Amino acid sequence: MQKPKVGISSCLLGQSVRYDGGHCHSSICTDTLQTHFQYIPFCPEVAAGFGTPRAPMNLVVNLSTPQLEYAENIEDYSGKAGVDLSGKLADGFLTKLDQAAELNSYITKSRSPSCGRGTTPLYTASTGLISETGSGLFISALVERYPQLPIVDETELEDRVILERFIADVTAYNSLRNKSNP
Ligand code: SF4
Residue 98: partners with Cβ closer than 8 Å, 6 or more residues away = none
The answer to whether position 81 is within a domain reads no
Q: Given a cut of 80, is residue 182 above it in pLDDT? A: no
pLDDT at position 64 is 65
Q: Which ligand 1 atom lies nearest to the CA of residue 116?
A: 7
| Ligand 1 binding pocket includes 108 (Cβ within 6 Å) | no
| Spatial distance between the Cα atoms of 77 and 72, rounded to a whole number of angstroms | 7
The answer to whether position 156 is within a domain reads yes
Q: Given a cut of 50, is residue 75 above it in pLDDT? A: no
| Ligand 1 binding pocket includes 111 (Cβ within 6 Å) | no
The answer to whether position 79 is within a domain reads no
Strand order in the sheet with 65-70: 65-70, 57-62, 120-124, 130-134
Structural domain tally of the chain? Answer: 1
Which of 12, 9, 43 has the alpha carbon at shortest distance from 27?
A: 12
The answer to whether position 129 is within a domain reads no
DSSP 48: T
Percentage above 70 pLDDT, the chain? 90
The answer to whether position 102 is within a domain reads yes
Q: Given a cut of 70, is residue 28 above it in pLDDT? A: yes
Q: Which ligand 1 atom lies nearest to the CA of residue 112?
A: 7
| Ligand 1 binding pocket includes 10 (Cβ within 6 Å) | yes
Angle between helices 137-145 and 86-99 (to 10 degrees): 40
Q: Given a cut of 70, is residue 59 above it in pLDDT? A: yes
Which of 147, 144, 120 has the alpha carbon at shortest distance from 134?
A: 120
Q: Given a cut of 80, is residue 79 above it in pLDDT? A: no
Average pLDDT of the residues in 64-93: 72
| Ligand 1 binding pocket includes 107 (Cβ within 6 Å) | no
The answer to whether position 14 is within a domain reads yes
The answer to whether position 70 is within a domain reads no
The answer to whether position 153 is within a domain reads yes
pTM: 0.91
Average pLDDT of the residues in 141-158: 96
Residue-range definition of the domain harbouring residue 14: 5-54+88-114+134-180
pLDDT at position 50 is 92
